């Protein structure tokens, strides 16, 4: 099952997929009955090349494979804070809880412990690719990159940059922030040099208020010099928008400011963006940048939403993010459900969909949300030809899902012993009320990186 469009799932039943474990790419997708011929062929090849390298995974009656999820916004050093400290608005939350929490990542052993647990948790949830903010610290952010590579997760990682309005024990100097960013970029490029490398560096100004103009300018130049991805927060909440307008009396708005410093490119991913004007969306689209919707965090902290169908109708690339720990869940499935619920409420508002105000217009359902969390994320990160769908030549980043397990073993409740009538119902039920217990296997790049026995 995959979702080439927001409107419909593609369900290929009785299907056989051949993956080359060395390249990690899908070699063939074919009807399993026709596949008998293919099997004989590969048997012959097998004798030549050595049979032991072929691994066969037969799927159970309630099992499906789907593309792995792509989390386009995670604060790795906030993992320990997940689900706590939710009592104050965003800017106060940063100052009171979050900056002190991140300041602890001067310790490498602390970073190793937290990052190992985080990456394992995300892989178990079915997140095969993640776009991470690290802390301000270079050594800890190297640990994060190494942890992703060692665990086999596809990752885009940034050393977060902030040289003002931070506590004394966490703020960095402009010079150190730039030097450490460049050093992190070269570290990643040397360690994972090819296009196929699992980990990529990201230029990461935290957000406009905590970065001086000089720092933003320097980071824009580094992004251009190394042709790097860029990530930051933009137009998130009312208090953040007001703060930016106060600091930049001319530009007033994040989009204009990022643009002035060369930080709005076709490799930029902007978290949140709940408060973007349509003209600004138009500019983001023109440049080729993307936005991450973080439903949980947006409702909790921004007290706002990203009108996904409306923004998509303007041509915007949108991925989904957990925003750990601004969001209260490490699971993108949870965020997908919230995106669906949010759309039910937004459907009455002027920006809720592509119909005039007042007309109810439900657009986002489990299929749409799944599309955003897979294809949407891949497009946002510029890897839409590599992951997010099952096509020949694309990478095998995939989940083996059993929708008949645990709480969803509904066959016990039916006289005929059948779990659900068809695979679509089974997948819908999994997306809407399943969890990591239903994810029995996770592959990244053709390798099994997480398995539930």
Q: Which residue is nearest to ligand GUN (CB)?
A: 326
Nearest by Cα to 104 from 80, 82, 86, 85 = 80
Of 97 and 192, CB closest to ligand GUN: 97
Partner that binds at residue 207, options Fe ion, ligand GUN, none, CB closer than 5 to 8 Å by kind: ligand GUN
Of 24 and 295, CB closest to ligand GUN: 295
Q: In the structure encoding, which two tokens stand for residue 430, read together?
A: 């999994």
In the complex, the smallest distance separating the C-beta of residue 269 from ligand GUN, rounded to whole angstroms, is 14
Partner that binds at residue 301, options Fe ion, ligand GUN, none, CB closer than 5 to 8 Å by kind: ligand GUN
State the Cα–Cα distance between residues 371 and 384, nearest whole angstrom.
12
Partner that binds at residue 236, options Fe ion, ligand GUN, none, CB closer than 5 to 8 Å by kind: ligand GUN
In the complex, the smallest distance separating the C-beta of residue 300 from ligand GUN, rounded to whole angstroms, is 9
Residue 425, SS3? helix
Length of the chain: 453
**DSSP bridge partners of 66:** 399
Of 9 and 74, CB closest to ligand GUN: 74
Of 241 and 373, CB closest to ligand GUN: 241
In the complex, the smallest distance separating the C-beta of residue 126 from ligand GUN, rounded to whole angstroms, is 22
Q: In the structure encoding, which two tokens stand for residue 212, read together?
A: 């001086």
In the complex, the smallest distance separating the C-beta of residue 321 from ligand GUN, rounded to whole angstroms, is 9
Provide the binding-site residues for Fe ion, judged by CB under 5 A: 271, 323
State the Cα–Cα distance between residues 281 and 351, nearest whole angstrom.
13
Of 94 and 363, CB closest to ligand GUN: 94
Provide the binding-site residues for ligand GUN, judged by CB under 6 A: 75, 90, 94, 98, 206-207, 233, 236, 297, 301, 323, 326
Of 318 and 400, CB closest to Fe ion: 318
- Alpha helices, DSSP H, located in 192-264: 213-226, 238-247, 254-260
State the Cα–Cα distance between residues 160 and 379, nearest whole angstrom.
23
H/E stretch holding 279 reads helix 278-287
Partner that binds at residue 170, options Fe ion, ligand GUN, none, CB closer than 5 to 8 Å by kind: none
Q: In the structure encoding, which two tokens stand for residue 3, read together?
A: 């979702």
In the complex, the smallest distance separating the C-beta of residue 400 from ligand GUN, rounded to whole angstroms, is 32
Partner that binds at residue 98, options ligand GUN, Fe ion, none, CB closer than 5 to 8 Å by kind: ligand GUN
C-alpha distances (whole Å) from 213 to each of 133, 173, 255 are: 20, 13, 14
Q: In the structure encoding, which two tokens stand for residue 340, read together?
A: 């669906």
Q: What share of the chain is helix, strand, coil (3-state, %, to 5)?
A: 45, 20, 35
In the complex, the smallest distance separating the C-beta of residue 196 from Fe ion, rounded to whole angstroms, is 28
In the complex, the smallest distance separating the C-beta of residue 359 from ligand GUN, rounded to whole angstroms, is 32
């Amino acid at each position: 099952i995959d979702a080439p469009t927001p409107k419909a799932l593609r369900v290929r039943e009785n299907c056989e997929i051949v993956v080359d474990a060395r390249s990690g790419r899908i070699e063939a997708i074919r009807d399993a009955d026709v596949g008998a011929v293919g099997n004989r062929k590969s048997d012959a090849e097998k004798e030549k090349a050595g049979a032991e390298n072929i691994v066969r995974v037969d799927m159970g009656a309630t099992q499906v494979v789907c593309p792995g999820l792509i989390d386009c916004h995670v604060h790795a050093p906030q993992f320990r804070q997940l689900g706590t400290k939710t009592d104050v608005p965003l800017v106060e939350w940063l100052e009171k809880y979050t900056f002190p929490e991140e300041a602890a990542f001067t310790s490498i052993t602390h970073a190793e412990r937290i990052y190992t647990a985080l990456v394992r948790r995300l892989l178990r949830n079915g997140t095969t690719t993640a776009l991470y903010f690290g802390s301000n610290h270079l050594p800890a952010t190297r640990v994060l990159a190494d942890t992703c590579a060692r665990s086999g997760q596809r990752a885009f990682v940034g050393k977060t940059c902030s040289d003002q309005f931070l506590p004394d024990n966490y703020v960095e100097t402009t010079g150190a922030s730039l030097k450490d960013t460049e050093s992190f970029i070269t570290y990643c490029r040397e360690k994972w040099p090819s296009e196929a490398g699992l980990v990529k560096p990201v230029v990461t100004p935290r957000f406009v208020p905590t970065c001086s103009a000089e720092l933003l300018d320097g980071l824009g130049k580094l992004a251009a010099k190394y042709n790097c991805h860029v990530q930051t927060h933009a137009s998130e909440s009312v208090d953040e928008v007001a703060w930016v307008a106060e600091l930049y009396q001319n530009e007033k708005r994040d989009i204009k400011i990022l643009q002035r410093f060369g930080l709005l490119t076709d490799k930029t991913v902007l978290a949140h963006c709940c408060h973007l004007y349509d003209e600004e969306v138009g500019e983001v689209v023109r440049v080729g940048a993307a936005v991450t919707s973080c439903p949980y965090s947006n409702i909790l902290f921004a007290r706002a939403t990203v009108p996904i169908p409306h923004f998509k109708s303007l041509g915007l690339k949108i991925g989904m993010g957990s925003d750990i720990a601004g969001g209260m869940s490490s699971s993108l499935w949870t965020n997908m459900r919230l995106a669906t619920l949010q759309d039910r409420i937004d459907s009455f508002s002027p920006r809720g969909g592509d119909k005039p105000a007042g007309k109810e217009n439900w657009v986002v359902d489990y299929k749409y949300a799944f599309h955003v969390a897979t294809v949407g994320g891949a497009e946002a990160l510029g890897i839409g030809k590599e992951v997010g769908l099952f096509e020949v030549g694309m990478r095998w980043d995939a989940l083996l899902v059993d929708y008949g397990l645990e709480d969803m073993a509904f066959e016990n409740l039916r006289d005929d012993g059948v779990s659900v009538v068809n695979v679509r119902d089974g997948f819908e039920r999994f997306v809407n009320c399943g969890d990591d217990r239903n994810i029995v296997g996770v592959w990244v790049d053709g390798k099994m990186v997480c398995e539930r026995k």
